[in-house]
Amino acid sequence: MASQNTDFGFRIRPLPREEKEPTPASPQESESAPRLAPEPAPELAPKHPSAHAPQAFEAMLTGGRFRSAQDALAFLGAVAGAELAGEASARQGPGGAWWIEVPVNWSRASSLVYSAGGVAFSGSHGSWVVVPAHGDAPTSPPVG
């Protein structure tokens, strides 16, 4: 039988663990806030923000928070199947939820996150914002 190339061409690598100690969250906080998303960087907003309109948030990474490994794998399978990225980064949280990052713009990958049962985020350099499920562009949080 002839030899076949079985290399899938997609790599999942672990994200480094955070060094700070976890703090217990209240039940209300844990339901509404993403527990696995990295903390935002201090300089998230532009230097001269408009106080009247939210700024569009452009980033080249899409993150997803998933309740189970099955949901995370469904997202990874969709990304690999669509050939959107050749690798992803993953981290499992203390409650069993998963955080997955792919080097793809939110406009191409956020629908795959929601289709797999996750919550989509857009970010770069440690700053993350939720991508609305209805498809509108994410906006940076208000300043001040």
d(CA 80, CA 125) in angstroms, rounded, equals 23
> Whole-number mean pLDDT of the chain?
75
Give me the residue label for tokens 């806030």. 33
pLDDT of res. 47: 39
User: Which residues lie below 8 Å from residue 131, measured CB to CB, with a gap of 6+?
Assistant: 62, 106, 110, 113, 120, 121, 122, 138
pLDDT of res. 46: 39
Phi, psi of 129, rounded to the nearest 5 degrees? -130, 150
What residues does each domain of the chain span?
Answer: 62-130
pLDDT of res. 71: 98
pLDDT of res. 134: 84
d(CA 113, CA 100) in angstroms, rounded, equals 9
Using alpha carbons only, what angle is made at residue 141 by residues 136 and 142, rounded to the nearest 5 degrees?
120
Instruction: Give pLDDT tens digits for 72-91.
Output: 999 999 999 999 999 999 99
pLDDT of res. 42: 38
pLDDT of res. 60: 82
